[in-house]
Amino acid sequence: MRNLVLSLGLICFSTLANAFEIEDRAVFGPDGSDQVLRIISTADISFFEPMIQSYLADNDVVRVDYTVASSSEVMRAVLNEQQPFDLAISSAMDLQTKLANDGMALPHASDLTQGLPNWAVWNEMVFAFTQEPAAFVISNAAFADLPVPENRQELINTLRQNPEIFEGRVGTYDIRSSGSGYLFATQDARASDTYWRLTEVMGTLDPQLYCCTSSMIDDVVSGDLAIVYNVLASYAEQREDSDAFTIILPSDFSIVMLRTMLIPTTSENPELAAEFLDFVLAQTFPDGNSPLLRSEVLDTASEESLHRIALGPGLLVYLDQFKSRNFIAEWESSILQE
């Protein structure tokens, strides 16, 4: 089976001039197939390739065209440009909910979806298939002589007391460009005022802002960063160089994101998309209730400390333009201190 991987970096999709920006693209399956499943996803190729290859093992006439983009660009491609993707996969639950709420998702019901737990589906349009917490990831070298922060207040104290170590070496999402980062930030702020105190402390240390978890972890491994905040633990767990860092779920509370799928109304192959969606759900909910694709570090956390983000219209609150502008302005005031 041919497997062609195209590393395109942050450039525009070659057939879509001046269109949404993509990060990577891979094509799996036979050349010339008339059954092509086009997926746009925030998940790295390495994260999702095993699922695709497993599907193709029993569907060897299907060709899967897999495009990686940030959650904001996924939203742009589907909502603004109405590109003909058959499946949209994103870690930004709020943006996925907005797509469905704005009439950009097709309903899908099957015996499999009917058996999902209530928290994993919304309006038969948005389907969750992972549970992934936001975590601290710290450089083992940078923290060799420092206490490991177990919660946000301890992290605040560590940053304040050691500016010479952390100046320019703290990383987090740029919530202006990262939909996932914005989701984590708004949920963090709703859960506790500690988020704003921590943001202000990070703002005094020339924090480095990123679009993506993978880039942040790369810089922890290289030594450029000492710590990153609110990154997806699932990405860190998959790294072969994980001996360079430690993943910490904060004990005060851990935001848990559900990665979701939906079938856009612009899909040219909605039946094929529904088939693949059911395949993913069958693999990730083997007992019909608990997702197989869940971060291992969740097993180390107490149930009381987990703050699972719920699917539904409540996620649309911070997508209101007025609230979004105010939230981002407050965040900029805290994180971008001169």
Arithmetic mean of pLDDT, 298-323: 85
Which one, of 245, 249, 216, lies nearest residue 139 by Cα? 245
**6 pLDDT above the threshold of 50:** no
Structure confidence at residue 13 (pLDDT): 42
What pLDDT shows up at residue 292?
45
pLDDT at position 18, please? 52
| More confident: 137 or 242 | 137
Is the pLDDT at 64 greater than 90? The verdict is yes
- Kindly report, residue by residue over 242-297, the tens digit of the pLDDT: 899 999 999 999 999 899 999 999 999 999 999 999 999 988 876 554 444 556 67
Q: Which CATH architecture has domain 3-130+258-305?
A: 3-Layer(aba) Sandwich (3.40)
Give phi and psi for 27, each to the nearest 5. Answer: -120, 130
Q: Is the pLDDT confidence value at 124 over 50? A: yes
pTM: 0.81
Report whether pLDDT(121) > 80: yes
pLDDT tens digits for 9-59?
333 443 444 588 999 999 999 998 999 999 999 988 988 898 999 999 999
Q: Domain coordinates of the chain in residue numbers?
A: 3-130+258-305, 132-256+316-335
Say if 3-130+258-305 and 132-256+316-335 have the same CATH topology: yes
| Cβ contacts of 201-204, under 8 Å, gap ≥ 24 | 201/156, 201/159, 201/160, 202/159, 202/170, 202/172, 202/229, 202/334, 202/335, 203/334, 203/335, 203/336, 203/337, 204/163, 204/337
pLDDT score for 308: 84
Question: pLDDT averaged over the chain?
Answer: 89
| Res 304: pLDDT | 78
Is 3.40.190.10 the CATH number for 132-256+316-335? yes
